[in-house]
Chains A and B, each alone.
Chain A
Amino acid sequence: MSTQAGLSFEQAPPFSLPLQFFLTAPLFLLVAALLIVMDPASLASRWTPQALALTHALTLGFLAMAMLGALMQMLPVVAGSPLPMPRAVAWFTQAPLVLGTLSLMMGFLSAGPLAFGIAIVLLGIGFAVFLAAATVSLVRATGNVTVWGMRLAVLSLGLTFTLGLALALMRAGVWIAPARAATLAAHLAFGLLGWVLLLVVGVAFQVVPMFQITPPYPPLLGRWLTPGLFVLLLMHAAAPGLPPRLGVLVEAGLAAGILLFAVATLRVQARRRRKLPDVTLDFWRLGMASLIASVTVWIVAQFSPTWADSDAYPLLLAMLFIGGFAVSVVNGMLYKIVPFLAWFHLQAQLQARAGSIPTMKDMIAEDRTRWQFRFHLAACGLLAVGLFWPLLARGGGLMLALSALLLAFNLLSAVRQFFRHGGRFT
């Protein structure tokens, strides 16, 4: 451990910086919902322009947006190493990410090379800035299980972006790359199982025990799960060059790792000391149940070629993993992070006696977070069933829209409380 690393741990970045990421994220959830409501038939296959636009609204617009904001906030706390120049990094990441994601969606919907070109430039700027800053911070950081999860997740994000860039160049008609199918498979795997899953796993090892006061995760799992999954992902990317039997084994290893994480999380949560109702806990449990469901769906596909070749299989897998797991967990985290930051910055700015400012629970009305959870749950259920019974898909889209609107409203209500009690952006 370097002594230098810990020396820089200091106060969190200004409230406004992570907040701009957190408040933008629900808008992309809303955009995704509107795409479904306007044209539920777009979910007929994963390759429709709408399905591709929708997927990137969720992964870039919602997930990456919120996760980058959370990383910015958490690096000083868990790694003792804040991002350098946080203000510049926030602006040069967030604005390009918003506009770049919108351009990319336009590119898919219109098949226009120009939109892809703009998306490539903007997303390139946004990710290059963030990845450079995160690399500086993570190299300086003190190594622990969460820092290793973050390092591998950020590395995976870089790979996902690079592979996505190659795919976008093909779409823009600039470049015909060899091995398009392999590039696509690796883009998906590093994006979902690398960036998203490894970050959630690494962060879970520290935040799951802290929210509900649970026993720690088994130390061996903490030490080996993220590097193990990452090695499997590298092998998975190389799979087209390997014997098919080995490819299946690698996938089985990934599935086993996912299952281990979900079961271990549910187990430590079941042994929590704080047994009070908690909406974040509900979001996490839904997320873990969805992970288990997605592994089950994958297992069925190994034994049923008809199911594996159907249009519904990859869509259901994506819906369970992205919507049921990743969106749920991130949504739940926002309900801890945003009210806490509103309280923390208000207290620090006003040097207020604690009783004179709202507590975390006063920042967002609890029953509204509960309603938002119900809308989200209904959206997940209806969209999953809607793959087989398309009549329900539009209802699922509507539920997702309601969920997104209420999430935005809830997060804004914390910001309103912050201002009402005299907080200001510095």
Chain B
Amino acid sequence: MDTILKFLGSDHRACDDLFASAEAAAAQKNWDSARTLFDQFQAAMAHHLSMEETVLFPAFEARTGMREGPTQVMRMEHEQMRGLIQDMAGAFAAGDRNACLGLSETLNMLMQQHNLKEENMLYPMSDQVLSNSRDDLIRSMQAVA
């Protein structure tokens, strides 16, 4: 079975892909397709954040005893992302190209530096400390609605 790094890392790539498609459609003011793609991106992000917050982070915290550590920083950045995504939803609905692109540039930087921290540190650490229950954890994450 996959490692946590591979499983969640490839989910990052999938989210990035939807993000780039939605942004490109908004840049071309192709609003019908932009809104559809943005909805897919928003759903994919919600799913990804929820897999981490309801399955991975609690398991990591329980195993390491660190509740105020790295997972806390990750949760804070998740909130920052949710704020930007919510504003983007408004900008996509209104068909406001400049607002979309200003928010998307900001979200991209926030998301990418966040992904680097997870893929360089948190996921490899999780693979290490949770190696016994890794397969079960991935199954639980796949089952998240």
Contacts and interface: CB of A to CB of B under 8 A. Distances in A.
Contacts of A359: 99, 102-103, 105-106
Contacts of B36: none
Contacts of B128: 1, 3
B70 A6 contact: yes
A360 interface: yes
B62 interface: no
Select the residue from B76, B83, B106 with max chain A CB neighbours within 10 A: B106
Given A6-B125, A9-B70, A210-B113, A276 B23 contact: yes
Measured as residues with beta carbon below 8 angstroms from the partner, the interface class of chain A is 35 or more
B20 A142 contact: no
A139 to B, nearest CB: 16
Interface string B91-104: 00000001101110
A9 B83 CA distance: 23
A347 B19 CA distance: 22
Contacts of A206: 116
B33 interface: no
Contacts of B108: 210-211, 213, 274
A302 to B, nearest CB: 40
A146 to B, nearest CB: 8
Interface of B is mostly: helix
B84 interface: yes
A80 interface: yes
Interface in A336-369: 336, 340, 343-344, 347-348, 353-355, 359-362
Interface residues of B, number: 41
B80 A347 contact: yes
A303 B68 CA distance: 62
B73 interface: yes
Nearest to B79: A351
A11 interface: yes
B20 A213 contact: yes
Interface string B63-82: 00010011001001000100
A78 interface: yes
A10 interface: yes
Interface in B91-145: 98-99, 101-103, 105-106, 108-110, 112-113, 115-117, 120-122, 124-125, 128-129
A335 to B, nearest CB: 11
B117 A9 contact: yes
B39 interface: no
Contacts of B125: 1, 3, 6-7
A144 B120 contact: yes
A353 B76 CA distance: 13
B124 A361 contact: no
A77 interface: yes
Interface in A1-35: 1, 3, 5-7, 9-11
Nearest to B26: A276
A270 to B, nearest CB: 15
B126 to A, nearest CB: 10
Contact of B84 (A211, A340, A354): A354
A78 B106 contact: no
Given A9-B70, A275-B24, A354 B103 contact: yes
Given A142-B124, A359-B103, 19 more contacts: A1-B125, A1-B128, A3-B125, A6-B124, A11-B73, A77-B113, A77-B116, A142-B120, A206-B116, A211-B109, A213-B17, A273-B20, A276-B27, A336-B109, A344-B80, A354-B80, A355-B90, A360-B102, A360-B106
